[in-house]
């Protein structure tokens, strides 16, 4: 049963920042799609309405996970982990194919992306593993066991293929082991091993041709301006043309004339940069900085290692998405399918991030024992 005394520790700034980012995103989902009748079926609010429906479901999920004591999750980690693997395997068998990737489970118009929820599942289960290992985290054997914990779900996600999401796993894995005080030399060895593995994957064509081309286009998109370099070129043109204050909402030429692909999902920051300029982009980055700061505060205040490790993984997950998504729109990172948290259109991603906020709220409210 929920103890109402916990409400005094409710992290209101985190809630306000989350809702602020979602509302900000709804504005630009509308702007990016309202003038594309073919995409919206003639309803300029089509994607906004769908996102609001997902928001409603997501808020219920958020309040549920904030209400439930996060310690209770420890009793269900096996179910969470194996259920997650089952969904990922199911995607490879009966998943919906879109854009050359098989990432979704769908029933009619309803679609879910299990790889999104897999991030939460692995963070929670890995957090319990690290908490139980305690001082043994200093051994290389424990570090390798922690890596094996996420190797299978990562491999299934790479198979879809979804390399961007798989890299998210590596980022929060490093973050969680760093906070768990794994030895730096062990993490360095794992990093060097990862680089060697990447080189082998490139040499033996484990990576798809389009994945290799995306990496190469990062340094010279003009080499294929109508092919692999098209997205990056159009994105940079859009953001640059916005200058300081932008062209105005729904007034961007690159976005409104549909030069920017995936402008309401992966490249929505390009629309912000064009229509609200440097000011709009900086405001968005400021909101993310505040959100991540609140998350880091919860990491520091967590009552125990289990909560601390969960919070670390969630903050790393969101930070990686923000850095890579915005980085790819300005040419600092290769183009991937990572959406902007709380901002890009997409139900699975919104649900995942609202679940993350719910867990952070649960950890924050229980950061100290209730005194009677």
Question: pLDDT tens digits, residue range 45-84?
Answer: 999 999 999 999 999 999 999 999 999 999 999 999 999 9
370 within a domain of the structure (yes/no): no
Whether the bond into 364 is cis, omega within 30 of 0: no
d(CA 286, CA 289): 5
Q: Has residue 10 got a pLDDT over 90?
A: no
For the segment 125-144, the average pLDDT, to the nearest whole number, is 93
If one counts every other C-beta atom within 10 angstroms of the C-beta of residue 182, the result is 22
88 within a domain of the structure (yes/no): yes
For the segment 6-25, the average pLDDT, to the nearest whole number, is 92
For the segment 168-188, the average pLDDT, to the nearest whole number, is 94
Q: Has residue 296 got a pLDDT over 50?
A: yes
> What's the chain's average pLDDT?
90
* β-strand pairing of 101-107 with 110-112: antiparallel
C-alpha angle 16/17/22, rounded to 5°? 100
For the segment 130-143, the average pLDDT, to the nearest whole number, is 92
Q: Has residue 19 got a pLDDT over 50?
A: yes
d(CA 111, CA 21): 23
For the segment 284-309, the average pLDDT, to the nearest whole number, is 96
Q: Has residue 1 got a pLDDT over 60?
A: no
Residue span of the structural domain in which 312 resides:
4-365
pLDDT computed for residue 56 by the predictor: 96
Q: Has residue 117 got a pLDDT over 60?
A: yes
pLDDT computed for residue 372 by the predictor: 31
Say which range, 89-98, 119-128, 178-187, has the weakest mean pLDDT.
89-98
121 within a domain of the structure (yes/no): yes
Q: Has residue 211 got a pLDDT over 80?
A: no
Percent of the chain with pLDDT over 90: 67
d(CA 372, CA 156): 48
18 within a domain of the structure (yes/no): yes
372 within a domain of the structure (yes/no): no
Residue 224: band (very low, low, confident or very high) from pLDDT cuts 50, 70, 90? confident
For the segment 331-343, the average pLDDT, to the nearest whole number, is 90
For the segment 81-110, the average pLDDT, to the nearest whole number, is 83
pLDDT computed for residue 2 by the predictor: 56
For the segment 115-143, the average pLDDT, to the nearest whole number, is 94
For the segment 225-245, the average pLDDT, to the nearest whole number, is 89
Considering Cα of 336, then 337, then 340, then 344, what sign does the dihedral take?
positive
pLDDT computed for residue 370 by the predictor: 41
pLDDT computed for residue 371 by the predictor: 39
65 within a domain of the structure (yes/no): yes
Residue 327: band (very low, low, confident or very high) from pLDDT cuts 50, 70, 90? very high
Q: Has residue 6 got a pLDDT over 80?
A: no
CB-count exposure of residue 50 (10 Å: 0-12, 13-18, 19+): middle
239 within a domain of the structure (yes/no): yes
pLDDT computed for residue 369 by the predictor: 53
Residue 158: band (very low, low, confident or very high) from pLDDT cuts 50, 70, 90? confident
Q: Has residue 21 got a pLDDT over 80?
A: yes
d(CA 122, CA 317): 11
100 within a domain of the structure (yes/no): yes
Percent of the chain with pLDDT over 70: 96
More confident residue, 129 or 42: 129
Counting the structural domains of the chain, the total is: 1
Q: Where would I find the beta strands (DSSP E) of the chain?
A: 96-98, 101-107, 110-112
pLDDT computed for residue 108 by the predictor: 65
């Amino acid at each position: 049963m929920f103890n109402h005394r916990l409400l005094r520790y409710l992290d209101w700034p985190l809630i306000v920042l989350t809702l602020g980012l979602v509302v900000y995103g709804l504005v630009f989902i509308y702007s990016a799609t309202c003038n594309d009748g073919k995409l919206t079926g003639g309803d300029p609010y089509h994607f906004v309405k769908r996102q609001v429906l997902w928001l409603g479901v997501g808020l219920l999920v958020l309040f549920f996970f904030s209400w439930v004591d996060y310690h209770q999750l420890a009793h269900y980690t096996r179910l969470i982990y194996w259920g997650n693997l089952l969904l990922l395997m199911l995607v490879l068998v009966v998943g919906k194919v879109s854009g050359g990737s098989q990432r979704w489970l769908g029933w009619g118009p309803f679609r879910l992306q299990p790889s999104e929820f897999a991030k939460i599942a692995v963070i929670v289960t890995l957090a319990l593993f690290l908490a139980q290992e305690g001082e043994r985290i200093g051994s290389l054997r424990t570090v390798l066991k922690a890596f094996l914990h996420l190797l299978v779900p990562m491999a299934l996600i790479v198979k879809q293929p979804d390399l961007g999401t798989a890299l998210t796993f590596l980022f929060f894995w490093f973050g969680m082991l760093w906070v768990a005080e794994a030895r730096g030399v062990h993490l360095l060895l794992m990093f060097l091993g990862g680089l060697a593995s990447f080189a082998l994957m490139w040499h033996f064509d484990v990576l798809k041709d389009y994945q290799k081309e995306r990496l190469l286009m990062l340094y010279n998109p003009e080499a294929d301006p109508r092919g692999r370099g098209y997205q990056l070129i159009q994105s940079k043109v859009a953001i640059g043309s916005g200058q300081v204050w932008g062209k105005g909402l729904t007034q961007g030429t690159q976005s409104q004339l549909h030069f920017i692909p995936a402008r309401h999902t992966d490249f929505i920051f390009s629309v912000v940069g064009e229509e609200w300029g440097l000011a709009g982009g900086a405001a968005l980055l400021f909101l993310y900085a505040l959100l991540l700061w609140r998350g880091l505060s919860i990491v520091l205040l967590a009552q125990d290692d289990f909560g601390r490790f969960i919070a670390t993984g969630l903050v790393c997950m969101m930070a990686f998405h923000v850095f890579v998504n915005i980085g790819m729109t300005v040419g600092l990172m290769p183009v991937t399918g990572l959406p902007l948290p709380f901002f890009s259109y997409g139900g699975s991603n919104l649900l995942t991030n609202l679940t993350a906020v719910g867990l952070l709220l649960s950890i924050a409210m229980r950061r100290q024992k209730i005194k009677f």
